[in-house]
Chains A and B, each alone.
Chain A
């Protein structure tokens, strides 16, 4: 326990109106880790972040920082800094004054601070901006000032609350790379909150998927993407096909009306399961190919998406989403094949896919 930088112990949060935002969150964050809380709005990720920052007090549970409880410590006495969603720059101060606010509050030497401000501006690629009013900066520039203002305090942990949410797509991609670079260069632990699964997968060392105030899965981006623990995680992380099925025995599963070879074991025999197929892992073969045990279906629609074609194939009563560079005519009879290692077996969960929730998550 002593080795972890921050440990969250059974955090519960019930707001004044009775809304239960957190239902027992347990999590640890290590030194130099880039940890991302990922989930749809209302999943409790921002509340968790605000508790670590000291802006909210949990209803119960504890936050340990280097082994000591900090739940009763006000934000100005924690060596943790935050980059707020809408940056919260001080509008009546210029860029340099904003960045030096922290050191000034601690009454540090002004000349030293002035030098550090220039260093910080260099780190965030804003050299020469020190005298500019923050009101005249673009969204991306304000973002960088907010990061510099937090980093100058040499925090042990930097909290980032959907910091790229207000930027356009191109800038967002650019800033993702920047943030990762800054994190590696500064060696500061990042606790990042986002609802954008791509952002989470690109930057993080560890991704924590949350839903309804509870943690669904903790793992590396690869784990989360390739081995989602349940249907919610699979659905939230990316477009996927999720089917109810049965695990016949180790390495044999039935779904889409056929029996498949897979690589998972240890589920037991004849156990109900959920199966996830990534659209890019599904290969279509002409019906004449005559592959034993492969389900046959009809192509419902074909959409050109630029990088690939998106096709919907009707198999029995299920629809299979397929991404492929090879287009098939709607109406064509095809066989659906998946490599055993691309079949992801999950324990059955109560999660029912809702279209609104999916769309919100994919935004």
Chain B
């Protein structure tokens, strides 16, 4: 009896969490326009999606911004993580780490407004550049957060060992350190990309006329009445983000099965 109760409770929670998304995906394949009546299976709305120039432009912007922001923030965040890792003074390192993490806890709307004010103060014209800069800014902490644990797992003498064997510091980094933290760098990149294509609030504040990404486009289209096209678009975004998240977390699942490596304190 208890077990039945537990199971049905779990099912209820799952239903509550996923019913809207499942409904959205199911109705993206609906032949009719209705949001309540099933009119038969069809890929009509996906075809419509591909014909909509506004959406395709937004999609292109989203991908370009997402990939560039992910690449730039991976480089900056990765180097930042290495810098934090090498700080010898513990107090300073903790303070810097907290500073780097703060933007993640900060409310998006505050980040958006403050970036907007910054651009205004610098007399920068809002548009593609400001949008990209904003995305880079909010992605960096996530990259730091995914690279730093990988660095901490390293034997602290690895770089020294490489130099001992004749590698210059730069070569030691490329040949020994980088390959070992690559999983962290990679998941940082994917995480940044996911966050970028998902972002709405900060984008809305920091983009200018003529440059829109998917989330802003969907928002403005939805205000004019929800078209089943949006169902299809949302379904696509959902599947893409879900896939990326699974890829990011895959190494973690694998690691849990393996013997966990002893973490070396820095």
Binding site for B on A (CB under 8 A): 16, 53-55, 74-76, 80-82, 84-92, 101-102, 105-106, 149-150, 153
- A-contact 0/1 string along B65-95, CB 8 Å cutoff: 0000000000000000000000011000000
Contacts of A150 in B (CB 8 A): 164-165
A81 and B157 contact, CB distance less than 8 A: no
Taking a contact as CB atoms closer than 8 A, the residue among B89, B160, B179 that contacts A92 in the complex is B179
Contacts of A53 in B (CB 8 A): 160, 164
B167 and A76 contact, CB distance less than 8 A: yes
Among B88, B165, B171: residue with most chain A CB under 10 A: B165
B166 and A106 contact, CB distance less than 8 A: yes
* Bound complex: CA A149 to CA B162 (Å): 11
Chain B: minimal CB distance from A231 (Å): 35
- A-contact 0/1 string along B146-168, CB 8 Å cutoff: 00000000010110111111111
Chain A: minimal CB distance from B164 (Å): 5
Q: List 20 A-B contacts (CB under 8 A).
A: A53-B164, A75-B163, A75-B164, A76-B167, A80-B164, A81-B165, A82-B160, A82-B161, A85-B157, A86-B155, A88-B155, A88-B160, A89-B161, A90-B180, A92-B179, A101-B175, A102-B165, A105-B167, A105-B171, A153-B165
A84 and B171 contact, CB distance less than 8 A: no
For residue B176, CB closer than 8 A to chain A, the reply is yes
* Bound complex: CA A80 to CA B166 (Å): 10
Contacts of B155 in A (CB 8 A): 84, 86-88, 91
* Prevailing SS type, chain B contact patch: helix
Cβ-closest 8 pairs across A and B: A88-B161, A105-B166, A102-B165, A88-B157, A75-B163, A84-B157, A92-B179, A76-B163
* Bound complex: CA A19 to CA B161 (Å): 25
* Bound complex: CA A96 to CA B89 (Å): 37
Among A88, A101, A102: residue with most chain B CB under 10 A: A88
The count of chain B contact residues (Cβ–Cβ below 8 Å) is 19
By beta carbon, the residue of chain A nearest B176 is A90
- Tell me the chain B residues, 211-225 only, with Cβ under 8 Å from chain A: none
* Bound complex: CA A92 to CA B88 (Å): 26
Contacts of A16 in B (CB 8 A): 88-89
Binding site for A on B (CB under 8 A): 88-89, 155, 157-158, 160-168, 171, 175-176, 179-180
* Bound complex: CA A54 to CA B165 (Å): 12
Chain A: minimal CB distance from B169 (Å): 8
* Bound complex: CA A12 to CA B222 (Å): 73
By beta carbon, the residue of chain A nearest B154 is A91
Instruction: Take A16-B88, A76-B167 as given contacts and tell me if A101 and B157 are in contact as well, using a CB distance cutoff of 8 Å.
Output: no
By beta carbon, the residue of chain A nearest B160 is A55
* Bound complex: CA A149 to CA B161 (Å): 10
A88 and B88 contact, CB distance less than 8 A: no
* Bound complex: CA A80 to CA B180 (Å): 25
* Bound complex: CA A149 to CA B165 (Å): 8
Contacts of A55 in B (CB 8 A): 160
Chain B: minimal CB distance from A6 (Å): 16
Taking a contact as CB atoms closer than 8 A, the residue among B89, B160, B162, B180 that contacts A101 in the complex is B162
Contacts of A89 in B (CB 8 A): 161
* Bound complex: CA A87 to CA B158 (Å): 9
* Bound complex: CA A90 to CA B176 (Å): 7
* Bound complex: CA A91 to CA B88 (Å): 24
Among B161, B168, B176, B179: residue with most chain A CB under 10 A: B161
Chain A: minimal CB distance from B35 (Å): 52
Taking A74-B163, A75-B160 as given, write out 8 further A-B residue pairs in contact, using a Cβ cutoff of 8 Å, ordered by the A residue number.
A16-B89, A75-B164, A76-B165, A86-B157, A88-B155, A88-B157, A89-B161, A102-B166
A84 and B161 contact, CB distance less than 8 A: yes
Among A54, A84, A153: residue with most chain B CB under 10 A: A84
Taking a contact as CB atoms closer than 8 A, the residue among B166, B176, B179 that contacts A76 in the complex is B166
Contacts of B89 in A (CB 8 A): 16
Contacts of B157 in A (CB 8 A): 84-86, 88
